[in-house]
């Protein structure tokens, strides 16, 4: 394995070290270093008199407190992040001169932020929403930001419509409801009247919008970019992150319950996995197109509402990212990190995707207001690991102490430095693309097919996934008050599938689709279905329902074998403390029926023990029944088998007396994630 990329002898971790401060055991001072003799009482004119203006300590302390919160992001406000490293598998010099994509022995530091889009910072994490997936690579040529989502397309084709989209999906201004939800009138009114959103809506209402974990969801750069090699030859590229654990999701009822049981579910999952050493891993893949192939498809490759089907343009896996360190301070790192799709390095360039072009302006503008001015790049989490030199000076939050009298170009007093670098010396040179045309406010005719890829997505779904989409439509539109908007949406999605739209119409009391012309696309893309993802049991959480008198040999044997497969058991009982086995062995209870819930686990294993009492059995039965209704794996042995009455012969339900056979079958059931063929009783 290689070593972390080092620049001037410093890794990113070492660079950040100078900013880490542990206040424990230290003497209190002001921010200027003055030791403080009193921090309980403000300076007053007499014990009951007014506070004096000269109390500099009070003013400093209160001023800082008043400004502890920066404006939250308008979108992607609810986020969580981690540090890690990236290594390329082999040199990509054939396609790009970006140095961090050349040497497999080099580890490039990264910082990754996951987020929901619509909700505020205080919203729940398991809501139906797009998830942000943004990666900052600290390369020796400067920071490169791959600012993406867990869905490969977007709602709109031109950035000028982004404020309209966000205004529509945010809580409605007359009553500030609903929070972190798209199930309301203004969003669906926007969809019905901006039909370029059709493909994205299919993804948004699929299982992709309620991921099981940040560790089990894909990431996409969304846009078409360019890779440019050192001969100046360019390829169009789309970026993909593929989770090593596979792509898995929640079910809708479960997602809603988790939002109440644990609104921090996704960040807790990521934090705990890293703390345990179960480091999340993602492989980076690229789809590459030569410029000669730009117009060979039945869609425009620059359209951000379109995918490049993987069966037509294969994903080439080029490297792996591992997240291996949690942040020290959420505000200083996660909140203050500033991503920007315009942060690129030599060898990576842009396309004329009109959504991407607008983002290149918007992100800088956003950071200026959020982080207080033009020096957000000087915050520790945003600083590149390589040195930076230019003639930019002053401004809010300036950390650098620039010395010398020259701050302009060209100059003679400093030998005309800092000086631009040649391309051979690593200077960034924009790809030279020939551009001709009139100044117009228009959209290419090649962008105006809104339904073919929405139909491709529908065709590619399994029957359970199709049912989930119909249920999601029914839930979302069922919350819409306007009958007109409901009908408009039903009519719109008749262009995707008449059967789907008719099923939704029946659920919400609307008329069957009117005036629609169903897409004739028959093609499928198997890569779009989550049922075709890899299935691994690693890091799955199993709730073990246990009581006094459990069979020690069986339980301890099963637990040992589950852990050997990377499965993580946690014990649930009627009270905290220890439970004792039949032969005296003790296990520490992690949760009670009151403090936990089946929705917080991937599977349930019931061992209980004899004669636990009616209250215990009632609570345990509720746990198991709820897990069963969410299609999760359920296992039981000995006395606990009675808790599975009526479920015994259902897929994913494992009952066995031999603990070796039980463990094998149960681990296979956990690997499958969900058992959709199960009939809920």
Long-range contacts of 86-89 (CB under 8 A, 24+ apart): 86/110, 86/135, 86/137, 86/284, 86/319, 86/320, 86/321, 86/322, 87/1, 87/2, 87/319, 87/320, 88/284, 88/318, 88/319, 89/317, 89/318, 89/319, 89/320
Query: Of these residues, 76, 184, 204, 235, which one is catalytic?
Result: 76
| DSSP element (H, E) containing 456 | helix 452-460
Distance from C-alpha of 443 to C-alpha of 557, rounded to nearest angstrom: 64
76 is catalytic: yes
d(CA 581, CA 563): 19
- Going by the DSSP 8-state scheme, the letter that residue 189 receives in this structure is H
Question: Which residue, among 285, 286, 288, 304, has the nearest Cα to 243 in the 3D structure?
Answer: 285
**Catalytic-labelled residue, pool 143, 149, 150, 495:** 149
**Two structure tokens written together for 391:** 């003639």
Within 13 Å, how many C-alpha atoms sit on residue 561's CB side? 17
**CA 550/CA 583 separation, integer angstroms:** 9
DSSP letter at 656 equals -
289 within 8 A of 307, measured Cβ to Cβ: no
Residue 333 DSSP code: I
Instruction: Give the torsion sign (CA, 570, 573, 578, 584).
Output: negative
Strand partners, 133: 114, 148
Q: Which helix (H) or strand (E) holds 13?
A: helix 12-17
Token look-up 């960034």 returns 428
- Tell me, yes or no, if 402 is annotated catalytic: no
Nearest alpha carbon to residue 296 among 284, 278, 309, 283: 309
Q: How far is CA 350 from CA 132, 156, 221, 346, 598, in A?
A: 20, 18, 12, 11, 46
Q: Give me 386's structure tokens.
A: 């390589």
Backbone angles phi, psi at 240, to 5 degrees: -135, 135
Residues assigned a catalytic role: 76, 149
């Amino acid at each position: 394995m290689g070593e972390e990329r080092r620049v001037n002898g410093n890794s990113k971790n070492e660079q950040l070290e100078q900013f880490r401060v542990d206040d424990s055991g230290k003497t209190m001072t002001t921010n200027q270093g003055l030791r403080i003799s009193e921090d309980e009482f403000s300076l007053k004119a007499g014990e009951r008199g007014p506070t004096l203006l000269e109390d500099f300590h009070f003013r400093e302390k209160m001023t800082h407190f008043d400004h502890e919160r920066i404006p939250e992001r308008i979108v992607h406000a609810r986020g969580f992040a981690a540090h890690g490293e990236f290594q390329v598998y082999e040199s990509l010099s054939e396609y790009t001169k970006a140095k961090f994509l050349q040497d497999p022995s080099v580890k490039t530091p990264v910082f990754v932020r996951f987020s929901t889009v619509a909700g505020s910072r205080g919203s729940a994490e398991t809501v139906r929403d797009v998830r942000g997936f943004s990666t900052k690579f600290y390369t020796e040529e400067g920071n490169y930001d791959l600012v993406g989502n867990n869905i490969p397309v977007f709602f709109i084709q031109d950035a000028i419509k982004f404020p309209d989209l966000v205004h529509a999906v945010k809580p409605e201004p007359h009553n500030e409801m609903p929070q972190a939800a798209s199930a309301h009138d203004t969003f669906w009114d926007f969809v019905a009247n901006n039909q370029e959103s059709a493909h994205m809506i299919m993804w948004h209402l699929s299982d992709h919008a309620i991921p099981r974990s940040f560790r089990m969801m894909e990431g996409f750069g969304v846009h078409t970019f360019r890779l440019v090699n050192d001969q100046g030859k360019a390829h169009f590229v789309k970026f993909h992150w593929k989770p090593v654990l596979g792509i898995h999701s929640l079910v809708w009822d479960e997602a809603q319950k988790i939002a109440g049981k644990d609104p921090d579910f996704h960040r807790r999952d990521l934090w705990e996995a890293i703390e345990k050493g179960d480091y999340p891993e993602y492989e980076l893949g690229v789809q590459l197109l030569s410029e000669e192939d730009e117009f060979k498809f039945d869609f425009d490759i620059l359209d951000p509402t379109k995918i490049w089907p993987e069966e037509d343009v294969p994903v080439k896996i080029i490297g792996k990212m591992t997240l291996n360190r949690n942040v020290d301070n959420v505000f200083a790192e996660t909140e203050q990190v500033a991503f920007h799709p315009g942060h690129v390095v030599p060898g990576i360039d842009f396309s004329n995707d009109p959504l991407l072009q607008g983002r290149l302006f918007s992100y800088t503008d956003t950071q200026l207001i959020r982080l207080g001015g033009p020096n957000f790049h000087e915050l520790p989490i945003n600083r590149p690991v390589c040195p930076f030199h230019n003639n930019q000076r002053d401004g809010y939050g300036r950390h650098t102490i620039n010395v010398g009298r020259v701050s302009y170009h060209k100059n003679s007093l400093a030998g005309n430095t800092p000086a631009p670098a040649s391309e051979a010396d690593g200077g960034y040179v924009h790809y030279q693309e020939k551009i001709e045309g009139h100044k117009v406010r228009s959209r290419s005719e090649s962008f105006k097919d809104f339904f073919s890829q929405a139909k491709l997505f529908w065709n590619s779904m399994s029957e359970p996934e199709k049912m989930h989409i119909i249920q999601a439509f029914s839930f979302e539109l069922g919350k819409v008050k306007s009958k007109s908007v409901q009908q408009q949406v039903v009519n719109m999605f008749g262009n995707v599938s008449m059967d789907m739209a008719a099923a939704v119409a029946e659920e919400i009391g609307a008329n069957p689709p009117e005036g629609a012309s169903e897409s004739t696309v028959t093609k499928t893309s198997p890569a779009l279905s989550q049922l075709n993802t890899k299935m691994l049991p690693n890091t799955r959480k199993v709730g073990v329902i246990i009581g006094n008198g459990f069979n020690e040999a069986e339980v301890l044997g099963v637990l040992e074998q589950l852990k050997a497969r990377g499965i993580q058991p946690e014990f649930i009982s009627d009270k905290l403390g220890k439970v004792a086995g039949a032969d005296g062995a003790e296990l520490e209870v992690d949760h009670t029926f009151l403090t936990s819930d089946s929705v917080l686990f991937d599977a349930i294993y019931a061992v209980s023990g004899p004669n636990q009492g009616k209250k215990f059995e009632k609570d345990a039965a509720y746990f198991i029944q709820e897990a069963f209704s969410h299609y999760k794996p359920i296992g039981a042995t000995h006395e606990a088998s009675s808790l599975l009455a009526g479920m015994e012969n259902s897929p994913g339900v494992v009952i066995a007396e031999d603990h070796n056979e039980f463990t094998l079958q149960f681990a296979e059931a956990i690997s499958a994630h969900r058992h959709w063929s199960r009939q809920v009783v």
